[in-house]
Amino acid sequence: MSWNFSLILFVALMVTGLVWALDRWVLSHRRDKDAKRPWWVEYGASFFPVILFVFVLRSFIVEPFRIPSGSMLPTLQSGDLILVNKYTYGIRLPILDTKVIPIGEPDRGDVMVFRYPVDPSVDYIKRVIGLPGDEVAYLNKRLYINGQEVPVKRDGDYFEPDRLTYTAQYIEELGDVSHKILVDKSSRQDLRPVWRFPYRDSCDFRMDGIVCRVPEGVYFMMGDNRDNSLDSRFWGFVPESHIVGKAFFIWMNFSEPGRIGRFH
């Protein structure tokens, strides 16, 4: 969806830019001084600066997204309107998504927007769990990175509005990031791949969970709502080329107008 909108915006930019340039350097010199511009020139030249501003803003600086599900509860709720930093992980060419200026790399614990590997036309948002070279294990609903269990602390219960039920909430210490997760200890864990994803041989699916060695150039992602998230445990790794940006700010939720601010 985001890629389609970017393409439409790019086409609009090219068309209005052509009209603006044609009017500035050709048509304006041929018109009488007091003559009005044709309607198509008037609209094209007027919209060009606005479209250029929006195109540059959402392509290189910040882009808005809407959270469609509860897979990132309790960090992000369904309906949250968020902002995504487009330059944290490097400057990319619009449409082509080719990185031209490297700036930084994803860190463990980042909340990242990316193009869904199974269907790149769809944007997903999850948390970065495994970096290239890491061994990630999710066994009996406990997370291990490079053989070390990730510390968690019980933090009461959370009411999931989508499921109308309470789920156990924990505070997870993932590297330098402290964030909340939901884990339903009573539900059955059934981790099976939904497609034959690249580097499938790097993962070992077991009765009690999954163990993956993260290859170079890809990332292992998981939702904070651990029992209600379709993530790398099911469809594999996210290639570096699929990265959209780092999510960092909630600016609106129409169901909760006061829900605004940064998150981790």
Catalytic residues: 71, 126
Structure tokens belonging to residue 60: 């290189």
Q: Which residue has the tokens 């790399």?
A: 105
Structure tokens belonging to residue 44: 């094209």
Distance from the first to the final alpha carbon of the chain: 25
C-alpha distances out from residue 73 to 68, 104, 133, Å: 11, 27, 28
Beta bridge partners of 182: 169, 225
216/20 Cα distance (integer angstroms)? 45
133/101 Cα distance (integer angstroms)? 23
95/83 Cα distance (integer angstroms)? 19
233 close to 191: Cβ distance less than 8 angstroms: yes
- Residue 49 CB coordination number (10 Å): 12
